[in-house]
A and B are shown apart, each in its own frame.
Chain A
Amino acid sequence: MDDGKITLCINAQSISVEPGVTVAAAIAMAGSGVTRRSVSGATRAPLCGMGICQECRVMINGRPHQLSCQTLCADGMHVVTAGEVQP
């Protein structure tokens, strides 16, 4: 928008962030920070912060398994986490 901020959607929620903010950070700003569900259905959030542990994976713009800790927020991005979805 005109204040230089970036607006994106985390699940159903619209959120504005500064440029340079990662999707993982935006997810934490928008709620619990939960990114995915483990194979047994437990909630998980980022662990290593550097694209190795794969815990930060979310769906971005329809594509699953994206590493949110290594992805910068972009205008109009649509992010879906497993935080709100029951197994």
Chain B
Amino acid sequence: MNNAEVIVIGAGIVGAACADALSERGLRVAVIEQDIAGGGATAAGMGHLVVMDDNAAELALSAYSLSLWKDLVGDRPQRHEYSGCGTIWVAADEEEMEAALVKAQTLCGHGLLCEVLTPAALYAREPQLRAGLAGGLLVRGDGLVYPPKTTRILLDRAMRRGAITKRAQVTAIEDHAVVLGDGTRHQAQHIVLAAGVRSSVLLPELPIQAKKGHLAITDRYPGFVKHQLVELGYIKSAHAASGDSVAFNLQPRPTGQILIGSSRQFDTIDPAVEPAMLQRMLRHAASFTPQLKELNVLRTWTGFRAATPDGLPLIGPSSARRGLWLATGHEGLGITTSLATAQLLAGQIQKEKTRIPYVPYLPGRFHG
């Protein structure tokens, strides 16, 4: 580690992508991870690759990142367990259908393929959906991956370029340096903090809040649903400032298992599965796909999203320490935007022109 030019803290998908992007630019990189690479939120989430358009900056970042994903997955999708299943945004009522039409316009304006679905078209594609829905929006370019595999692939790529990885706990960040649990101090020109919710342990002043989410996975029921299904009402829950909420979010894994989400809770860091929350989430999911009740759940678990006040990640320099950069705060879009995050971060470190503007994601937006 002694001649590393960049130390990346955290080997989740964001840290791994940063290590990959920085090593590709010829920098000597060291990645420090206290647990297992890709073992945190990276492993807990759904691995949904989705374009989100709640605001222009989110759309730009997720669309750019999805194009990077297409390149990364390339012609070997099995390595990432990639599935180009697309997303269907489900509209429960006319108001949500209006939102679907607006979304369609926005995405098409951005050059992204999508198709408005009448109720008949919706049920033709997804017969498990309950009767009485208003329709939906199919976004073809969306997909899913198994993020721990991609994380490993990115880290291995970085390591082939000379990056090193170290299993250790960082206990403090100093100007151009990190202090480890064994008391040793390691210097580098650049330190990149990509530790998700654990970033707040090292920098308590970060504008990051943990949002707990529950997930459940079923046994194999191939063909139960064919696209990732998300309710348009999801937007209401995802950006609530407080309170517990659930939203309909169903994903067909390539194994034939159904991954069920989603839920959001503030004010708890207890990773235990809460039976009442699980029940609420599953009840809500079954209200959209009634036959879900007949399926067996094999496992349930939780994860913690690192959420910022405006729902956009922190990508750029931190004023807290000299040489410190942030690549964290991705909330529910970490997998999707990991690759673009790495490009924007590496671009800023190397003072390159970036493909999209990085200003909206600068950490400095929260100061003063």
Interface residue ranges, A against B (CB under 8 Å): 39, 63-65
How far does the Cβ of A55 sit from chain B's closest Cβ, in whole Å? 14
B366 adjacent to chain A (CB < 8 Å): no
Does B219 sit within 8 A of A, measured CB to CB? yes
Query: Which chain A residues lie closer than 8 Å to B296 at the CB level?
Result: 65
- Compute how far the CA of A64 lies from the CA of B255 in the bound complex, rounded to whole angstroms: 16
* Residues of chain B from 219 to 271 with CB closer than 8 A to chain A in the complex: 219, 221, 255
Closest Cβ–Cβ distance, residue B326 to chain A (whole Å):
41
* A64 CB contacts on chain B under 8 angstroms: 219, 221
**How many angstroms from the CA of A60 to the CA of B40 in the assembled complex?**
39
Check if A63 sits within 8 Å of B294, measured CB to CB.
yes
Interface pairs (6), CB distance under 8 Å: A39-B255, A63-B294, A64-B219, A64-B221, A65-B219, A65-B296
Chain B: CB-nearest residue to A54 = B219
Across the interface, name the chain B residue whose C-beta is closest to A62.
B294
Which secondary structure dominates chain B's binding surface?
mixed
Chain A residues closer than 8 Å to B255, beta-carbon distance: 39
What is the chain B residue whose CB lies nearest that of A65? B219
**A interface secondary structure, majority:** strand
Cα distance, A56 to B294, chains bound together (Å): 20
Residues of A within 8 A of B294 (CB): 63
Residue of A nearest to B296 (CB): A65
Q: How far is the CA of A21 from the CA of B219 in the complex (A)?
A: 27
Q: For chain B, residues 292 to 314, give those with C-beta under 8 angstroms from any C-beta of chain A.
A: 294, 296
CB distance from B133 to the nearest CB of A (A): 27
Distance, CA A63 to CA B221, complexed state (A)? 11
A42 to chain B, nearest CB (A): 16
Q: Hey, which chain A residues are within 8 Å of B219, CB to CB?
A: 64-65
Distance of B144 from chain A, by nearest CB (Å): 19
A39–B219 Cα distance when bound, in Å, is 12
Note all chain B residues with C-beta closer than 8 A to A39: 255
In chain B, what residue has the closest Cβ to A39?
A: B255
CA of A14 to CA of B296, assembled, Å: 29
How close is A80's CB to chain B, nearest CB, in angstroms?
A: 15
Closest to B255 in A: A39
Residues of B within 8 A of A65 (CB): 219, 296
Bound-state Cα–Cα, A39 to B296, Å? 18
Could you tell me the distance between the alpha carbons of A63 and B219 in the complex, rounded to whole angstroms? 13
Once bound together, how far apart are the Cα atoms of A63 and B296, in whole Å? 11
**Least CB separation from A63: chain B residue:** B294
Provide the residues of chain A in CB contact with B221, threshold 8 Å. Answer: 64
Map CB proximity to A onto B155-174 as digits: 1 under 8 Å, 0 otherwise: 00000000000000000000
A64→B221 CA distance, assembly (Å): 9
What is the CA–CA distance of A77 and B176 in the complex, to the nearest angstrom?
A: 71
Distance A27 CA – B184 CA, assembled complex (angstroms): 64
Shortest Cβ gap from A66 to chain B (Å): 10
Minimum distance in angstroms from B218 CB to a CB of chain A: 10
With A and B bound together, what is the CA distance between A77 and B67 in angstroms? 52
Expressed in whole angstroms, the Cα–Cα distance for A31 and B67 within the complex equals 53
CA distance A60 to B292 in the complex (A): 18
Q: A69–B337 Cα gap in the complex (Å)?
A: 47
Q: In the assembly, what is the distance between CA of A63 and CA of B295, in Å?
A: 9
CB distance from B223 to the nearest CB of A (A): 12
Docked Cα-Cα span, A39 to B255, in Å, equals 9
Q: Please indicate which of the listed interface residues A39, A63, A65 has the most CB atoms of chain B within 10 Å of its own CB.
A: A65
Q: How far is the CB of A41 from chain B (nearest CB, A)?
A: 13
Q: Which residues of B contact A63 (CB under 8 A)?
A: 294
A54 and B153 alpha carbons, distance in the complex (Å): 32
With CB as the reference atom, state the residue of chain A lying closest to B218.
A65
Task: Name the CB-closest residue of A to B219.
Answer: A65
Top 6 nearest A-B pairs by Cβ distance? A65-B219, A65-B296, A63-B294, A64-B221, A39-B255, A64-B219
